[in-house]
Amino acid sequence: MTETTQGRLIDPVESTLVSPGSGVVEGLLARTTSVRDGAATVALATGTGWSLVHAVTTSWGPFLRERALQHELSHFGPFLDPGVVLALLWVAAVAVGLAGRWGIARGWLAASLLLCLVLPVTGRDGFDLGWDGPTSTTLGFVGACAIVAMVGTPRSPRLVVGGTVTVAVLTAAVAVAHGLGQTARGWFWSGPLQAATLLLLMLAALLAAAVLARRRRATAAAVVIVSLVPWAAVYAVDVLAASQDPASPLPTALLAAALPLAALLTPRPAP
Distance CA 68, CA 74 (A): 10
Name, in order, each residue with C-beta under 8 angstroms of 124's C-beta and a sequence gap of 6 or more. Answer: 132
- Say which DSSP state 247 is in: T
pLDDT score, position 66: 81
246-265 pLDDT, tens per residue? 444 445 444 554 554 454 44
How many structural domains are present in the chain?
1
List Cα–Cα distances, 35 to 40, 41, 155, 156, 228, in angstroms: 8, 10, 11, 14, 13
Mean pLDDT of 90-118: 96
- The answer to whether residue 14 sits within a structural domain is no
Among candidate residues 11, 3, 38, 1, the one with its CA nearest the CA of residue 223: 38
pLDDT score, position 29: 55
pLDDT-derived band at 126, boundaries 50, 70, 90: low
pLDDT score, position 195: 85
- The answer to whether residue 205 sits within a structural domain is yes
pLDDT score, position 196: 86
Name, in order, each residue with C-beta under 8 angstroms of 195's C-beta and a sequence gap of 6 or more. Answer: 235, 238, 239, 242
Distance CA 154, CA 97 (A): 8
pLDDT of 10 over the 50 cut = no
Selected residue with higher pLDDT from 121 and 57: 57
User: CB atoms < 10 A from the CB of 186, how many?
Assistant: 15
Mean pLDDT of all residues belonging to the chain? 81
User: CB atoms < 10 A from the CB of 75, how many?
Assistant: 15
- The answer to whether residue 10 sits within a structural domain is no
- The answer to whether residue 11 sits within a structural domain is no
pLDDT score, position 31: 75
pLDDT score, position 244: 46
Mean pLDDT of 74-100: 94
Structural domain harbouring 195: 27-265
Distance CA 253, CA 243 (A): 12
pLDDT score, position 247: 44
pLDDT of 131 over the 90 cut = no
Amino acid at 160: V
Q: What is the distance in angstroms between the CA of the first residue and the CA of the last residue of the chain?
A: 45
Write out the E strands in 80-218: none
206-248 pLDDT, tens per residue? 999 999 989 989 899 999 999 999 999 888 887 776 654 444 4
- The answer to whether residue 1 sits within a structural domain is no
Distance CA 218, CA 170 (A): 27
pLDDT score, position 250: 47
- The answer to whether residue 17 sits within a structural domain is no
- The answer to whether residue 5 sits within a structural domain is no
- The answer to whether residue 2 sits within a structural domain is no
- Say which DSSP state 1 is in: -
pLDDT score, position 127: 66
Among candidate residues 42, 268, 261, the one with its CA nearest the CA of residue 167: 42
